Structure 1
Amino acid sequence: MSKGPLYGANVFANGIRQHYLRYGGKGPVVILIPGITSPAITWGFAAERLAEQYDVYVTDVRGRGLSSTGPDLDYGLDAMAQDVISFSNALGFNKPAIVGHSMGARIAMRAAVSAEGAFSRLVLVDPPVSGPGRRPYPSKLPWYVDSITLAEKGIDAEGMKAFCPTWTLEQLRLRAEWLHTCYLPAIVKAFEDFHNDDIFGDFANLKQPCMLMVAGRGGVIEAVDEQEISGLNGAIEITRVPNAGHMIPWDDFDGFFLALGDFLSR
């Protein structure tokens, strides 16, 4: 049975309302940044496991969940990275760790590079490595647009199954309930930036301990990418979850935590 978060709350940081869910409440602080269409609550099942050892804060990235949204906001990578820096400062954290998934991993990297020394360590879970002149991100934009458009009108778990056929009923229900909170222009901007923002320079400039977690069946990060990343920054620890697609903890929950190991508490 899910225990749920300790509480949800909002903080005004970087000029917007940032909503978050707090799990655990004890141990070192970990900020968890979800991916492109994952409101904070959809990461609850993984946050609860992390909360056995850490004080976990899962954020709603701007334009998603209960954080600020609308046509007047900047949904670029730099703005989202500054959100994380300001969020950490507003809550008085002292060098928290960050776990970021997909888009959230790109945000984590840009935040760490932009505010050197602000974060103790990073876990980058299958970040898109597409960019100018690079291999495109394997997911296609219509997959996001179509599912969000249906969610805005109202969709149930059975309807969502067409988009996420391997997910459990509980996961499908949660996505069907919350996907409508993903502001479509924010999603389109983030997807376009997967191809317009080259993050390999960020890999090179990371100074803190960093883990890159690769989905074995995701097709997002390939061997050639791992080689380039290692060449740019040999200190990055690369781990793999062989039987998982891009949504690693959804596909292989135990494999996700096996790959993570004790990295956050070393």
Structure 2
Amino acid sequence: MTTFLHGANAYANGIRQHYLRYGGQRKSGDNDRDPVILLPGITSPAATWGFVGEVLGRTFDTYIVDIRGRGLSEASAALDYSLDAQADDVLALARALELPRFSLVGHSMGARIAIRAARQRPRGLARVVLVDPPVSGPGRRPYPADLNWYVQSIALCRGGAGPEDMRAFCPSWTEEQLRLRAEWLHTCDERAVRCSFEGFHLDDVHADLPRLAAPVLLIAAGRGDVIRQADIEEMSALVPAMRVARVPAAGHMIPWDDEAGFYEAFGNFLGAEIQPSNQSQRRIQDAG
């Protein structure tokens, strides 16, 4: 049975923000479980994270957000695509949804948005999960990806490219994953992607980390070069109480590479363990 409830829009921080909602109200004993707001990466519209939303929705009231300039959220030539604007978006959305408490789960760019938002110490922020955040910034090694990889694949999808065209960019992905990427990638505004990629190298999220007050969990990929052991140690020094979990078999797109390991990495950090459905378990077994 699906946990998907609906897609919807909210006007928050001066723009229309689109999100997908899974699960609805979830309770554990006498205590409400805090809702989860999931923030995807640089070219990942909310729909591409639906398989994760289905699972999270079994335990938590879950909102997957189309970051401005992606998916069905607002995009325009005049829109501010900066990290600060993105961080303000998520906090304004939480207020618009009237969430008294919530947790942020951000992947890649979404993790940097979560850091910048959490720096403000907003009322109601319960927990922050950072999934393989880019650690690039002023004076640091560059983000290990080529901007043209994003730009070229977006251009192909604007021209009607299909899953086989995407396979050249994501050779290890399943047919279903490639189909979703081909379907939704054209909704990523190239200006938004360029601005975010540039921000990976200009925005100093390390300066934000000591200002975080909410509990933090870092989930790091065991493969790939986005975050190294030295980076984990530096972040741990900046956030001494930060919990760290590794997913050894996964690259940067952790739930795509090792979905089971991704859920296990959360443990009970969000207030309850994540329980995959029978359907997701079969998908995980098939992927293995």
Q: What is the TM-score normalised by the length of structure 2?
A: 0.90
Deviations 1:88-131 (A, max 9, x none): 00110012001100000110111111243331001100010100
Residue 55 of structure 1 and its aligned partner are, at CA, apart by 0.2
Counterpart Cα distance in 2 of 1:197 and 1:168? 33
Q: What's the Cα RMSD here?
A: 1.1
**What letter matches 2:18 in structure 1?**
H
Q: From 136, 146, 150, give the equivalent of 1:140.
A: 146
Equivalent pair of 1:112/1:118 in contact (CA under 8 Å): no
Deviations 1:190-209 (A, max 9, x none): 00000001111122111111
Answering whether residue 273 of structure 2 is matched by residue 253 of structure 1, we say: no
Equivalent pair of 1:131/1:197 in contact (CA under 8 Å): yes
Unaligned ranges ≥5, structure 1? none
Answering whether residue 118 of structure 2 is matched by residue 101 of structure 1, we say: no
**What letter matches 1:15 in structure 2?**
G
Counterpart Cα distance in 2 of 1:176 and 1:20? 20
Deviations 1:11-34 (A, max 9, x none): 000000000000011223100010
Counterpart Cα distance in 1 of 2:101 and 2:205? 22
Residue 228 of structure 1 and its aligned partner are, at CA, apart by 0.9
Equivalent pair of 2:157/2:185 in contact (CA under 8 Å): yes
Task: Give the match for residue 161 of structure 2.
Answer: 155
Answering whether residue 207 of structure 2 is matched by residue 201 of structure 1, we say: yes
Task: Give the match for residue 17 of structure 1.
Answer: 16
Equivalent pair of 1:245/1:251 in contact (CA under 8 Å): yes
Task: Give the match for residue 167 of structure 1.
Answer: 173
Matched residue SS, 1:238? strand
Task: Give the match for residue 74 of structure 2.
Answer: 68
Deviations 1:166-204 (A, max 9, x none): 111000000000000000010000000000011111221
Answering whether residue 227 of structure 2 is matched by residue 228 of structure 1, we say: no
Identity between Structure 1 and Structure 2 (%): 57
Matched residue SS, 2:24? coil
Matched residue SS, 1:70? coil
Answering whether residue 42 of structure 2 is matched by residue 42 of structure 1, we say: no
Counterpart Cα distance in 1 of 2:187 and 2:122? 32
Matched residue SS, 2:105? strand
Equivalent pair of 2:127/2:270 in contact (CA under 8 Å): yes
Matched residue SS, 1:6? strand
Counterpart Cα distance in 2 of 1:222 and 1:205? 22
**What letter matches 1:3 in structure 2?**
T
Task: Give the match for residue 116 of structure 1.
Answer: 122
Matched residue SS, 1:10? strand
Task: Give the match for residue 193 of structure 2.
Answer: 187
Unaligned ranges ≥5, structure 2? 27-33, 273-288
**What letter matches 1:260 in structure 2?**
F
Counterpart Cα distance in 1 of 2:82 and 2:224? 24
Answering whether residue 5 of structure 2 is matched by residue 6 of structure 1, we say: yes
Counterpart Cα distance in 2 of 1:115 and 1:81? 12
Counterpart Cα distance in 1 of 2:14 and 2:122? 21
Q: What is the TM-score normalised by the length of structure 1?
A: 0.97
Equivalent pair of 1:241/1:256 in contact (CA under 8 Å): yes
